[in-house]
């Protein structure tokens, strides 16, 4: 176990914020975890668990220990004619995992192609896109509680998944290090085209037969056309969650803003497009120094080069205030603010 001092986090977060961490450790094996549990560091210092850094904003330097998840590996746990269960190390790259499934003809996770980050972070906010969430294929995960030092296995029910939410953002927030995740993929050809935009794009370029590779390529094409390439422009994808409101609130808003964008949420309430709210307040494409709102997508805040985390955070707060003033809706960050 090697603890590094005074490390720049620029290469460890997709916003490319040049914050410094006092201490940094890469976890590559279970033995590294045992090492850190026995070191006493967790009792002395504050700590933060980091995956690929694509959903975090370092708002200042981090005066503590960054625990970077790097456990690799992919193992078949169960396999029959209908499905396969895989156990994936939390430090594996999510998109590589999706690519491997597509190449192997395992169905079910292709709509989540090109989401940056690591496998161990996917359950934390129950990543989702194009009509599906990781919970649709999720079986269970292994983790260790860094406070109680207890190794544990959690089932799908125990993870309490919701819209960009799970137990890891609530009761177990910040204290549980996920080490591997099990997903069940189907061997039977079945797709999820419930998301209209994906279905339309699939129909746009007729092919003889719709196969897994074609769906994967279509998802990647759609995403690339909308979101900034993290290698070129720093961002963390959608900065805010879509707010969920009641029937009554929706009716009031519809009467004032007839073109408001909304969708039925799983809870039976209504999800309003946060991007639409922000765009209506005139933020799309706005730039203040190197911090800005992406020109193709108002929900995405970007670092054009040398923005500090605090620049992005103050822009986010101004946006939040202006949306509240105009619509009376408080939009909450999806991105985890670390300081």
Question: Positive or negative, the Cα torsion across 204, 205, 209, 211?
Answer: negative
For residue 233, state whether it binds ligand FAD (rule: CB under 6 A): no
Q: Which of residues 49 and 253 has its CB atom nearest to ligand FAD in the complex?
A: 49
164 has catalytic annotation: yes
Q: By CB under 6 A, which span of 81-89, 125-133, 191-199, 201-209 interacts with ligand FAD?
A: 125-133
For residue 51, state whether it binds ligand FAD (rule: CB under 6 A): yes
Q: Judging by beta carbons within 10 Å of its beta carbon (0-12, 13-18, 19+), is residue 84 exposed, middle or buried?
A: buried
Residue 253 host element (H or E)? helix 247-256
| Residues of this chain, 14-43, that bind ligand FAD according to CB under 6 A | 14
Task: Give the residue, chosen from 122, 212, 245, 315, that forms a contact with ligand FAD under the rule CB under 6 A.
Answer: 122
Least CB distance to ligand FAD at residue 27 (A): 8
Q: What are phi and psi of 281, to 5 degrees?
A: -85, 5
Task: Give the residue, chosen from 86, 178, 215, 302, that forms a contact with ligand FAD under the rule CB under 6 A.
Answer: 178
Given a contact cutoff of 8 angstroms between Cβ atoms, the answer to whether 336 and 247 are in contact is: no
| Residues of this chain, 238-257, that bind ligand FAD according to CB under 6 A | none
Task: Give the residue, chosen from 70, 108, 116, 243, that forms a contact with ligand FAD under the rule CB under 6 A.
Answer: 116
Task: Give the residue, chosen from 41, 49, 146, 219, that forms a contact with ligand FAD under the rule CB under 6 A.
Answer: 49
Catalytic member of 87, 164, 182, 201: 164
158 has catalytic annotation: no
Contacts of 28 (CB under 8 A, 6+ apart): 70, 71, 72, 91
DSSP string for 46-83: -EEEESSSSSEEE-S-EEEEEEEE----EEEEEE-SSE
Kindly state the tokens that stand for 202: 């699939």
Q: Which of residues 91 and 319 has its CB atom nearest to ligand FAD in the complex?
A: 91
Q: How far apart are CA 197 and CA 131, in angstroms?
A: 10
Q: Judging by beta carbons within 10 Å of its beta carbon (0-12, 13-18, 19+), is residue 57 exposed, middle or buried?
A: buried
Phi-psi label, residue 130: left if phi above 0, alpha if psi -120 to 50, beta otherwise:
left
Task: Give the residue, chosen from 124, 154, 312, 319, that forms a contact with ligand FAD under the rule CB under 6 A.
Answer: 124
Number of shown-chain residues binding ligand FAD (CB under 6 A): 34
Task: Give the residue, chosen from 9, 25, 66, 69, that forms a contact with ligand FAD under the rule CB under 6 A.
Answer: 69
Least CB distance to ligand FAD at residue 264 (A): 19
Given a contact cutoff of 8 angstroms between Cβ atoms, the answer to whether 67 and 25 are in contact is: yes
Kindly state the tokens that stand for 56: 């975090």
Q: How far apart are CA 124 and CA 178, in angstroms?
A: 9
246 has catalytic annotation: no
Residues 82-101, one symbol each (x = binds ligand FAD by CB under 6 A, - = not), give: --------x-----------
Contacts of 33 (CB under 8 A, 6+ apart): 27, 144, 177, 179
3-state secondary structure of 113: coil
Task: Give the residue, chosen from 33, 109, 219, 336, that forms a contact with ligand FAD under the rule CB under 6 A.
Answer: 336
Q: By CB under 6 A, which span of 116-124, 193-201, 203-211, 260-268 interacts with ligand FAD?
A: 116-124
For residue 128, state whether it binds ligand FAD (rule: CB under 6 A): yes
Task: Give the residue, chosen from 16, 24, 54, 311, that forms a contact with ligand FAD under the rule CB under 6 A.
Answer: 54
Q: Which of residues 177 and 202 has its CB atom nearest to ligand FAD in the complex?
A: 177
Q: How far apart are CA 15 and CA 99, in angstroms?
A: 24
Kindly state the tokens that stand for 106: 């395992």
Residues forming contacts to ligand FAD in the complex (CB under 6 A) are 14, 48-56, 69, 90, 115-118, 120-122, 124-125, 127-129, 168, 176-178, 227, 230, 235-237, 336
Q: List the catalytic residues.
A: 164, 238, 334
């Amino acid at each position: 176990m090697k603890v590094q001092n005074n490390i720049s986090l620029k290469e460890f977060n997709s916003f490319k914020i040049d914050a410094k961490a006092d201490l940094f450790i890469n976890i590559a094996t279970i033995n590294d975890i045992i090492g850190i549990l026995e070191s006493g560091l967790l009792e002395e210092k504050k700590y933060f668990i980091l995956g690929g850094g694509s959903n975090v904003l370092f708002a200042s330097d981090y005066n503590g220990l960054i625990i970077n998840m790097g456990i690799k590996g992919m193992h078949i746990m169960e396999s029959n004619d209908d499905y396969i269960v895989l156990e994936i190390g939390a430090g594996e790259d999510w998109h590589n995992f999706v690519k491997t499934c597509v190449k192997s003809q395992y169905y079910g996770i292709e709509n989540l192609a090109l989401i940056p980050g690591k496998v161990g972070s996917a359950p934390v906010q129950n990543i989702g896109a194009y009509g599906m969430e990781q919970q649709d294929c999720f079986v269970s995960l292994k983790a260790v509680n860094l406070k109680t030092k207890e190794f544990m296995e959690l089932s799908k029910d125990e993870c309490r998944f919701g819209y960009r939410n799970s137990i890891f953002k609530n009761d177990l927030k910040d204290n549980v290090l996920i080490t591997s995740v099990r997903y069940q993929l189907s061997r039977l050809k079945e797709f999820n085209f419930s998301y209209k935009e994906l279905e339309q794009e699939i129909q746009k370029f007729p092919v003889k037969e719709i196969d897994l590779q074609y769906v994967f390529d279509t998802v990647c094409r759609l995403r690339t056309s909308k979101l900034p390439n993290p290698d070129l422009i720093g961002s963390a994808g959608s900065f805010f969650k879509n707010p969920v409101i009641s029937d009554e609130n929706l009716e009031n808003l519809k009467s004032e803003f007839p073109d408001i964008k909304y969708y039925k949420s799983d809870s039976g309430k209504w999800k309003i497009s946060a991007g639409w709210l922000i765009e209506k307040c005139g933020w799309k494409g706005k730039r203040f120094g190197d911090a800005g709102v992406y020109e193709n997508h108002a929900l995405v805040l970007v670092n054009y080069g040398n923005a500090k985390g605090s620049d992005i955070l103050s822009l986010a707060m101004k946006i939040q205030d202006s949306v509240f003033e105009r619509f009376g809706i408080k939009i909450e960050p999806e991105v985890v603010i670390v300081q």
